[in-house]
Amino acid sequence: MSNNKNWSNTRSIMQRIIENPSYNAKESISQWIGNIGTNKDTMLLLVGNKSVSEDFVVNKTIQALFDTGIFAHITAESLSKQSLAEIVNGKLFLYINHIPKGEEEQQKLKELIISVVIHKAIKSDGYKIPTQAKIIVTIDEAHEFFRDFLELCTTLFIDSKENILSKFKVNSTTPLYQAIESSLDHYSDEIRVMEKEQLDIRVNENQRYIDLLSERNVAENEVSSNNLPILDPYSNDFEKYFPIGEFHTYLTGLTRIGKSFLLLSLIMKHIHRNDCSIIGMTPS
């Protein structure tokens, strides 16, 4: 499975899950994992196809290589209930796979990233507690939250599962998972001897990330310019536009005006209320 008979299958897979990597980017994930225990390359941002990066990088590789006790999944609950010192204590990996909705939790997450990535220390009771923790982020699409951290992290775009399976000429992820599991010892030796150097900044795809944010902002502004509400089924404002009650709604509109999205929003709002059943019917 590996392109090089001296490489482990895990190393080959870590290279080929990256979407169209440059020559310098191919070893980025392995180098980042190999830099554990150093103050280099503290943050890895994996963008796109979150389920792929979660499965291959986080679950099958990092958590299999290292003691789970040094791995912390950062959630809205942990941010609200624990201090930064408690979150980081004894951890080498901090895993982020979503942005909390609460403003306080978001601010605390920013403080955590700044403390770990820039200061390499957590303030607690007037003292600075050094940390060598690394932060790994998996997200489905570029998010404004991470814009300010782009120059501080290694940013990589992850390929789709379908493309990865095609690269390896397999029909499912099972043989890839088996290949990782059977070659982890070899891979561990490989990353241990990799040069502990700062990753080349050219491997970062910061501009692509920024361009995606700009495209999304343009799309949102186009919607807002029509003076139409942007519907969030989880928002308390939703019922101002669509009151809950026993009545019928007749919905018409041109193609691509947003009828299907509105229907999905209405369904999600009713599911979120958890006090009714949803039945979908399509005329034959």
DSSP string, 160-207: PHHHHHHHHT-SSSHHHHHHHHHHHHHHHHHHHHS---PPPGGG--HH
Handedness of CA 45, 154, 37, 129 (dihedral sign): negative
- Summarize pLDDT for 102-137 with one digit per residue, the tens: 899 999 999 999 999 999 999 888 889 999 999 999
CA atoms within 13 A on the CB side of 41: 24
Tell me if the pTM is above 0.85.
no
For residue 154, the cross-strand partners are 44
| One-letter amino acid for residue 238 of the chain | F
DSSP, collapsed to helix, strand or coil, labels residue 228 as coil
In this structure, are residues 132 and 35 in contact, taking their beta carbons and an 8 Å threshold?
no
Question: 9-209: what fold?
Answer: Rossmann fold (3.40.50)
Query: How far, in Å, are 17, 40, 81, 149, 155 from residue 43 at the CA level?
Result: 18, 9, 24, 9, 9
Q: Which long-range contacts (CB under 8 A, 24 or more apart) does 67-74 make?
A: 71/95, 73/97, 74/109, 74/112
**pLDDT-above-90 percentage for the chain:** 50
Q: Does residue 202 surpass a pLDDT of 50?
A: no
In this structure, are residues 28 and 203 in contact, taking their beta carbons and an 8 Å threshold?
yes
Across all residues in the chain, what is the average pLDDT?
84
The helix or strand, by DSSP H or E, that contains position 266, with its residue range, turns out to be helix 259-273
> What region, left, alpha or beta, does residue 258 occupy, with left being phi > 0 and alpha being psi -120 to 50 degrees?
left
* pLDDT score of 252: 75
* pLDDT score of 249: 73
Q: Does residue 201 surpass a pLDDT of 60?
A: no
* pLDDT score of 238: 63
- Summarize pLDDT for 38-78 with one digit per residue, the tens: 777 789 999 999 999 999 999 999 999 998 889 999 999 99
Domain ranges of the chain: 9-209, 229-278
DSSP, collapsed to helix, strand or coil, labels residue 71 as strand
- CB atoms under 10 Å from CB of 164, counted, come to 21
pLDDT band at 255 (very low <50, low <70, confident <90, very high): confident
- Summarize pLDDT for 256-267 with one digit per residue, the tens: 667 777 777 777
In this structure, are residues 150 and 210 in contact, taking their beta carbons and an 8 Å threshold?
yes
* pLDDT score of 10: 95
- Summarize pLDDT for 135-190 with one digit per residue, the tens: 999 999 999 999 989 988 889 999 999 999 999 999 999 999 999 999 999 999 99
